[in-house]
Chains A and B, each alone.
Chain A
Amino acid sequence: MVVLEGVSKSYPTAQGKVEALHEVTLSMEKGEFVVLCGPSGSGKTTLLMTVAAMLHPTTGSVTVGQRNLYQMSSRARAKFRAERIGFIFQMFHLVPYLNVVENVVLGAQAAGRSGGSVQARQLLERLGLDGRAHHRPSQLSAGEKQRTAIARALFNRPKIILADEPTGNLDGDNATSVLGHLSDFHRNGGTVVLATHGERAEQYADRVVYMSEGEVRS
């Protein structure tokens, strides 16, 4: 279970303080598929980063499975991310000099696992990438890149997947495919928190949370 209590996040800028999140209180059940909707700049990504133990809130607390993330050391938070969280980004963020399999197993070392290329290939087969295992990201289509990112996110068997505009750079078919894979993960008991400003993902969601100007509206 993910619980945010009174979470605010502000950044100092040349123009003054900008508050990206304001007193957000939100809880997500284990195994829930939550879609965060809202326009650009509404605080969706900041909220995802906060849940991912990567962005220390200015005030408030974030608890995942009874563990208060920001009372943990940074080393413990890194370990927590490696073992519990999977990420998917709009821009894919694949490592350009690694091939598909290597990108998928990249997180394994951080999670204390070695090898894993056999499991990675099985995962790639499930995602329709078995013929692309030794291709570099530059040789893949946008849809293939995002499916590689999904494979990387799933590889360490995370409890939660955080997806930030995962279909933002994809055409309709690829977007449907990506959402389908996230839905599969959810059906198998995983928690999904997906940030988007579109509406396509809402049909897969257990709950849609609307955000605006750093606040949860519903």
Chain B
Amino acid sequence: MTVLNLVVKELWHRKVNFLLAVLAVVTAVAMFIAFFTAGKASERETARLMLDMGYNLRIIAKDTDINQFLLTGLANETMPEEYLEKLASAKGISYNHLLATLQKRITWRGVDVVLTGLAPEVCPPGRAKPPMIYSIKPGELYVGYGVAQALGLKEGDAVDIEGKAFTVAKCLAESGGVDDVRLQCNLREAQEILGLPGQINEINAVDCLCFVEGGDPVSILRKQIGLILPEAQVYQAKAMATTRAKQRQMVRNLFAVIMPSVVIACGLWIGILAIMNVRDRQQEIGIMRALGYGSSRVAVLFLGKAVVIGLFGAILGFLIGTGLAFRFGPDIFKITAQTIIKPELALFVRSVVFAPVFAAISSFIPAMIAVTYDPAVTLREE
């Protein structure tokens, strides 16, 4: 009669106790899986939503007149286009989605517009992400809503700017911002029109820093970028960056509070059931001790039972947790759910390893109580 035999027979005999204990582990594992999956999904969803808000980092030439930049939103000084490559190829940086632009206010057909040349967006090596913004081919012109309305432009119209021919590729939707008065074209063509070959006046990016303990993210970014581009200065759209960081932090805090609470509650639940089980089995423990079972064997009986419960709970909990994430995830995370909510083998392995350990730890005190029962006392009780 092996220990496993005894454990399985006892589990079968006290089914309610077994099912309640498995339920505790299932609850803990399922909540962990569901929260973990939801937490990851939420983080990505937040990142996507924040990306939709636009770039939050602006890198401009060191000599730019800051007053004028803040008043007009346009940098009056330019910097070499190679700065983009320098930034993109640097290691250990905390930003992504680098977009070089050359922007200048001009009057076109009697309307004040911001001519904006866009380079294709670049990502640092190994951190490729889908671009946040469209790429404009040579000869194409993207016209802001206000300009299109003012000049009666529509897609397919042939136009020229300072003698350079374009086709209106897109009339953009109303944004309520400066984009409504932009004429956007390929960077190279904007450089030619403005007579600034190889020059840009702004690099936009998205910072990847959340809350930094004991430090200000802008200072860190300035330090990082300052080492790479001493001739540049950095401005952060703080409200946007802070919202993003707060949202991420909120999800992490939620996870950090809820999961330990669930784990502690389930651990206590298993522990109480194990104590009840030990009390039920006092005489059985007594007879085993009388038959020569040592303390370690008695402890193994209870801890072994906890491990079996943990294994069952882990498998069921994983299936239920993943099922919950599948069922409710797409309704909550509408943008990213289809691509990121999927069963994670690593989580299954973690569940199968940690849940039995968790159940065994919860049953440790009851097991020690069982070991310390005095058989001479329990066998005399009728």
Contact = CB atoms under 8 A, between A and B. Distances in A.
Interface string A96-110: 111000100111111
A93 B284 CA distance: 7
Contacts of B379: 49, 89, 93, 164
Nearest to B5: A102
Contact of A106 (B10, B12, B288): B288
A52 interface: yes
Contact of B291 (A55, A90, A106, A164): A106
Interface string B283-303: 110111111111101000000
A111 B376 contact: no
Nearest to A94: B287
A83 B292 contact: yes
Interface string A123-162: 0000000000000000000000000000010000000000
Interface string B226-242: 00000000000000000
B12 A110 contact: no
A68 interface: no
B382 A110 contact: no
Contacts of B374: 55
A217 to B, nearest CB: 22
B1 interface: yes
Highest count of chain B CB atoms <10 Å: which of A52, A78, A94: A78
A91 interface: yes
B310 to A, nearest CB: 21
Given A74-B295, A102-B1, A95 B376 contact: no
Contacts of A107: 291-292
A54 interface: yes
A196 interface: no
A73 to B, nearest CB: 10
A45 interface: yes
Contact of A55 (B12, B13, B284, B376): B376
Majority DSSP secondary structure for residues of B touching A:
helix
B292 A52 contact: no
B287 A93 contact: yes
A153 B12 CA distance: 26
B287 A49 contact: no
A105 B1 contact: yes
B342 interface: no
Interface residues of A, number: 35
A93 B291 CA distance: 11
B131 interface: no
B380 A81 contact: no
Given A54-B289, A90-B382, A93-B287, A108 B1 contact: yes
A81 B290 CA distance: 7
Interface string B1-45: 110001001101110000000000000000000000000000000
Contact of A49 (B6, B10, B294, B376): B376
A109 B1 contact: yes
A97 B375 contact: no
Interface residues of B, number: 27
Contacts of B10: 97
Nearest to A93: B287
Nearest to A76: B294
Given A93-B283, A105-B1, A54 B290 contact: yes
A89 B287 CA distance: 10
B382 A91 contact: yes
Contacts of B288: 106, 110
Contacts of A109: 1-2, 293
Contact of B284 (A46, A85, A95, A111): A95
Nearest to A153: B291
A33 interface: no
B376 A75 contact: no
A41 B376 CA distance: 15
Contacts of A78: 289, 292-294
A185 interface: no
Interface string A25-60: 000000000000000000001100100101100000
Nearest to A111: B292
Contacts of A87: 287, 290-291
Contacts of A46: 376
Contacts of A110: 288, 291-294, 297
28 contacts: A49-B376, A49-B380, A54-B375, A74-B295, A75-B294, A78-B289, A79-B294, A81-B291, A81-B292, A90-B382, A91-B283, A93-B283, A94-B287, A95-B287, A96-B284, A97-B9, A97-B12, A98-B1, A105-B1, A106-B1, A106-B287, A107-B292, A108-B1, A109-B2, A110-B288, A110-B292, A110-B293, A110-B297
Given A52-B376, A96-B13, A110-B291, 20 more contacts: A49-B379, A49-B380, A74-B295, A78-B292, A79-B292, A81-B290, A82-B291, A82-B293, A91-B283, A93-B287, A97-B9, A97-B12, A97-B13, A98-B9, A102-B1, A106-B288, A107-B291, A109-B293, A110-B292, A164-B379
Interface of A: 45-46, 49, 52, 54-55, 74-75, 78-83, 85, 87, 89-91, 93-98, 102, 105-111, 152, 164
A-B interface, 5 closest residue pairs, ranked by CB to CB distance from nearest: A82-B292, A97-B13, A110-B292, A107-B291, A55-B376
